[in-house]
Structure formats: C-alpha cells, structure tokens
C-alpha cells in the first residue's frame, strides 16, 4: 500500500494546452491503473483530479476544444482521509471526453469521519462501476 500524505492533488492529469494548439498534436493518457493507495489528509481533491480548464503559466485551459484524451484509467482499492466532499473531480474536454474511467473499492472519509461517495464530472462517458 502506497501512502500519499498531505498533498493537494495526489493524482492529477493535466497538460500544456498552448503547446497542443501550436503543434497540432493530440495527447493521450490510456490504460493506466492506480491501485492500493492510502490518502492522508489530501487538501483540495479526493483521489484524483482531471482538468482541461486550468490556467497554467498565464495560458488559460480550454474546457471545450482541448484534444487531450484520457481513457481507460482504473482506480481500485483507495483508502484514507481527504479534505473535500467528493472522491474525484473530472472536468474533461467537450471535444475529447474522458471515457472508460473505472473507480471501485474506494473508501474515503473527511477528517471528521464522514464518508465520501460523490464525484464532480463534466464530459465523462462510459463510466465503469461509479456514476457522476
């Protein structure tokens, strides 16, 4: 079991959208598995965070046209305490929705012991085991 202590975003998918536009490239994250993790007081997100909407180095993210494709990502046997009311945040691109995300065997609580089983989702399709 891997312990991820006191971090703001324990598992984070993001990319340099401005580079994608300049180089006309399509970035793909595919067939990645995260298993047997313990969160210890993560501060901003639950297990993971996916976004195309983040501003980085002064360049605004693009929630609607980014081609960054995230698919077949698996999260299993995740435990621990988090500092937010949702297990995961997935804000994917309208032009390239996240697909095949699997979340199972998740047992997260707030530091006060309240169980968490909600997800924040935008443009997520073909979810496995969980629902937004």
What is residue 54's predicted lDDT score, i.e. its pLDDT?
Answer: 59
What pTM value is reported for the model? Answer: 0.78
Q: Looking at residues 19-35, what average pLDDT do you find?
A: 71
- Residue 100 token pair: 């095949």
- In a domain, residue 39? The reply is yes
Q: Could you tell me the residue range of the domain that residue 21 belongs to?
A: 2-125
Q: For residues 78 and 129, what is the distance between their CA atoms, to the nearest angstrom?
A: 14
Instruction: Report the sign of the C-alpha dihedral through residues 97, 104, 16, 51, in that order.
Output: positive
Residue 95 binned pLDDT confidence (cut-offs 50, 70, 90): confident
What is residue 87's predicted lDDT score, i.e. its pLDDT?
Answer: 83
Q: Looking at residues 46-66, what average pLDDT do you find?
A: 65
Q: Does pLDDT of 100 surpass 90?
A: yes
- In a domain, residue 28? The reply is yes
* Widest distance between CA atoms in the chain: 47
Domain count within the chain: 1
Q: Does pLDDT of 66 surpass 70?
A: yes
CA–CA distance from 111 to each of 29, 47, 72, 104, 128 (Å)? 31, 14, 30, 21, 27
Q: Check residue 6 and report its DSSP letter.
A: S
Q: Looking at residues 7-36, what average pLDDT do you find?
A: 66
- In a domain, residue 23? The reply is yes
Q: Check residue 128 and report its DSSP letter.
A: B
User: Can you list the alpha helix ranges (DSSP code H) found in 14-129?
Assistant: 17-23
- Residue 59 token pair: 């360049």
- In a domain, residue 101? The reply is yes
Between CA 111 and CA 31, with CA 89 as vertex, the angle to 5 degrees is 115
Q: Does pLDDT of 7 surpass 70?
A: no
What is residue 72's predicted lDDT score, i.e. its pLDDT?
Answer: 94
If you average pLDDT over every residue of the chain, what do you get? 77
Residue 99 binned pLDDT confidence (cut-offs 50, 70, 90): very high
Burial of 68 (0-12, 13-18, 19+ CB in 10 A): buried
């Amino acid at each position: 079991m891997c312990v991820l202590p006191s971090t703001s975003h324990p598992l984070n998918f993001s990319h340099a959208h401005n580079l994608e536009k300049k180089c006309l490239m399509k970035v793909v994250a595919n067939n990645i598995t995260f298993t047997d993790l313990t969160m210890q007081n993560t501060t901003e997100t639950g297990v993971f965070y996916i976004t195309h909407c983040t501003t980085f180095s002064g360049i605004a993210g693009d929630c609607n046209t980014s081609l960054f494709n995230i698919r077949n990502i698996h999260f299993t046997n995740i435990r621990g305490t988090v500092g937010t009311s949702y297990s995961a945040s997935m804000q994917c691109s309208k032009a390239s929705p996240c697909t095949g995300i699997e979340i199972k065997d998740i047992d997260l609580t707030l530091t006060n012991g309240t169980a968490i089983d909600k997800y924040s989702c935008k443009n997520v399709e073909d979810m496995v085991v969980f629902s937004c």
